[in-house]
Each structure stands twice: as structure tokens, then as C-alpha cells.
Structure 1
């Protein structure tokens, strides 16, 4: 299984890393924001062996509406769909779907309970707003403090995946970064999750991950139980060009 070490440079990590965000990679926004949103990352013409063929009339994963569906790249045949009840809630549900050879999306893993940011969701994220960005983003790079649990994604096993301190409910954050999957939001795809380069500037944040749940809301990330993270990591396949689709259920259903 591929192992990639983190890039050189300062990489001291704190829980605040999950609070900083901006927009790089596949992205979806609400219709009113779409005119000013950055364009999608160019998709590969050939997803490689193991990727499901694209149907003539693409379907959408369950719960994903036609507007959001148009922002899922054609090469993507895995989608982690994370939905909350409203824009202001910080608990959510997560399900991994896979598209089969007929074009239908089937549940591959989950559902799992999840947390998102303390104040909920947003289409216009800024560093420190304590909201998780709504959108469709590539997820292709992983890592953690613990060894690779069996994922085929590039995995950076590094002791610098630390999360000191306590969360918003006073819960310890230790172990939150035992396993992480980087969400391509203002980051450089194809690099370790520890990479701190922010192409759109630090004010738009960065370091948005799917990571181990610590029992409370996050600063911007999505969190799942340790067991769910292991299942997710083992299920994700680079050849399927996986994405995360996340936001309030009503907006994802548009």
C-alpha cells in the first residue's frame, strides 16, 4: 500500500488546523453563489482500472438533487454523502455510496453518525467562522498518527498528527487525528494532509478533514467514530476518484 511522507517545512499541528479553510478542488455552492464560485478541478479523462463506467444519463446518489449532481465529476464513482438537518446543526449522518456499472449508486458503507462544525454549515466559509463548507470536494489523501489501517489512498503515517486540548464540550481531543482524510478545500491535491500551503490565502482557511470523532462539534471538519474511519479508509479507492458531498440535507437535495 502506498505510503507518502509529509513535505518538508513546519508542520506543528493543533486542533485549530481544522478551522482554517478555503476553496480548492471540486466544489459546489448554492445556486445563488454559483456565478462567483471558483471552477472545478479538471477531471482525468480516464479514471483507471476499477472505475465504474459513466452512464449516458447520470444518476445521483440517494439524497443528492439534480443541481448538486451536476457538480460531482463524471469520473467519480464513490461519494461520501454527509448531511445535517439544518444550516445551524452540528450533528450529521454520513453514508458512502458507489456507482455500479449500470450507473446506479448503491450504499457501500454506513450510515454513520457524524459531527460537523459548532455553528453548522456555510456556502461562504472564512477562517474562524466555526462552520463547515457546503460542497462537493475531492478526497484522495489520507494520514494519521496510527499506522495505515489498510487504505489504498496515499497515507502519511506521522507522529505530527496530534490534537491537544479540549473540545467545545470540554471533551479531550486526544486521538482525533489518529486517522484523517483530507478534504480538498484550499489545499494542494496530491499532498499530505499536513501540507499547510493555502492557494487562496490563510484568511479562507484550510486543513478541513474527515477525522476521528471526539464526542463533540468540530471547528470545520467532519468527524466519524474510529471504527467508521477505519471502514471508510479501507473502502475508498483512488481509481474511483472519491468525493465528499456535504451540507444541510435540504440544500444537498436541490
Structure 2
């Protein structure tokens, strides 16, 4: 996104319980008899002597603490999967709540031997009008697709990312968003999404290979509490965690769109 114009951006626990087993020793009566039409009553030695009866044995419940690792990235159809490079080992999956919604969920998946290990689910924002398969400048939609993540930057110092990081005060924004929220700090951390941009350059680089009419400056950046003009936004804490996790050696990409688009 060009910074000389106003910019409005966005952005189980498994509770393990194991039921204890109380020690229980039961001594039945010898040769109990039951009168016709009456219920059988069995007492242990303690209750027969007026002592409290021990608690009954409770079954043991075992809950696995192992995180489920899907063999394939969930919710993605063959068309979307075919666009993910074979050497990619990190996928930032951004799933929009609906085609016209500005709300999303983000999960970082990392390739392991038996599938794709998911990270935490993070709340996010996307563009004000939702998603589009053909993005144009000013349409207030986020582009659907698979895009490489090669470059980062921000107004704040490098938080420890392995991505090339451009630290500059030029990552500055002011004003208010669609819901009246202040935009200040939205560019404290950014990751450039390689939509209509030159990879291997600062996110500030305004080059647009597909032409200016197709828009650009699509980033993942710090959330300001409302919809964006086309970007994806996360809380500052989650942005920092994402920057620290991404590794160019794993050829990270972002897969983004509404659920109906991603399942194609």
C-alpha cells in the first residue's frame, strides 16, 4: 500500500483430565438369598458394622495430549493445493468468515514428516468488502490466492525474524479506519504479500509488475481493530510471533481467501 495516500488497514486447549481411582475392596455376603419380588442388597464388612461404605470404582478416562497433525492442509481444494510450491514447508492459512466478511482466522502450518502441524488460531481482519478473485486498486477487497512471503519491515526494530527486515520510520500511518479506530501503529510490523510486487525488495517498494490498476501494497500488518483496504491484520503480539517463526529456508507462503474459494 502506498504510504503517501490515506490507508485504512486491518487486520484447544486440550484439557487433560484423568479420573482417579479410589481403592475399593468389596466383601460380599456369603450365600445371599433374595426373597421373591425383593431386590438383592449386598453389603461390605464396613457397612455391615455401621461404617461408611467405600466409594465405587470409577472408570479411568484417558485423553490424548497429542496434537492432531493432518496429512493435508485442511479446507483446501485441488486447485488451491496445486498452487502451493512443492518445497514450501510453512503456510500461513488465512480463512475468511464469508465472501463479503472482513473477519478471518489465521493459522501457521509447518510441514513435518507425517503432515502439517498447526499452530494457534489467531483472529484477524481482511478487507472491508471481503474477498475477490481479481483484485483492482481501490476495490476494498483482499485478493484470493497463494502468495509468497519473502520480505518484512516495520517502524519498530527487527523482532528477530529470519526474513529480510527493513526497519524505517517511513512505515508510518495516521488517521482513522472504517470504524473510527486510530490507524497509528498499524505498520509497526509488516510482512509483504507477494501480490503485484517485486520480491526480494522492501515492502516499501512501489513497483507493480501487473500495473497500477491491479493494486498493490498488500501486507500482513498490525491490527488496528477494524477492516482493511486489502491487507490482512493481526494483533501486534501475533505479528511478532509470526515474524519470529517464518524462515526463508522453508519458502513460506500465505494461502488466503474465503472458505468457498479455498475449497476449490
| TM-score bracket, shorter-length normalisation | 0.7 to 0.9
TM alignment of 1:156-235, pairs within 5 A: 156-235=166-245
Structure (1 or 2) with the larger CA radius of gyration:
2
TM alignment of 1:1-254, pairs within 5 A: 12-16=3-7, 60-102=72-114, 104-107=115-118, 109-254=119-264
TM-score by length of 2: 0.74
Q: Which runs of 5+ in 2 are unaligned?
A: 11-70
Contact residue 60 and residue 69 of structure 1 kept, 8 A: no
Q: 3-state DSSP class of the match of 2:257? A: strand
Contact residue 18 and residue 208 of structure 1 kept, 8 A: no
Task: Give the total of aligned pairs.
Answer: 203
CA distance in 2, matches of 1:130, 1:247: 14
Specify which structure has the bigger relative contact order, considering alpha-carbon pairs within 8 angstroms and separated by 6 or more residues: 1
> Could you list the runs of 4 or more consecutive aligned residues of structure 1 that deviate by over 4 angstroms after TM superposition?
11-15
CA distance in 2, matches of 1:111, 1:160: 31
Contact residue 8 and residue 176 of structure 2 kept, 8 A: no
Q: Which runs of 5+ in 1 are unaligned?
A: 1-10, 20-58
CA distance in 2, matches of 1:247, 1:12: 25
Contact residue 185 and residue 208 of structure 1 kept, 8 A: yes
Cα RMSD, aligned residues only: 1.6
Shift of 1:86: 1.5
Q: Deviations over 1:186-206 (max 9, x none)?
A: 000000000001111111111
Contact residue 62 and residue 105 of structure 1 kept, 8 A: no
CA distance in 2, matches of 1:119, 1:220: 9
TM-score by length of 1: 0.77
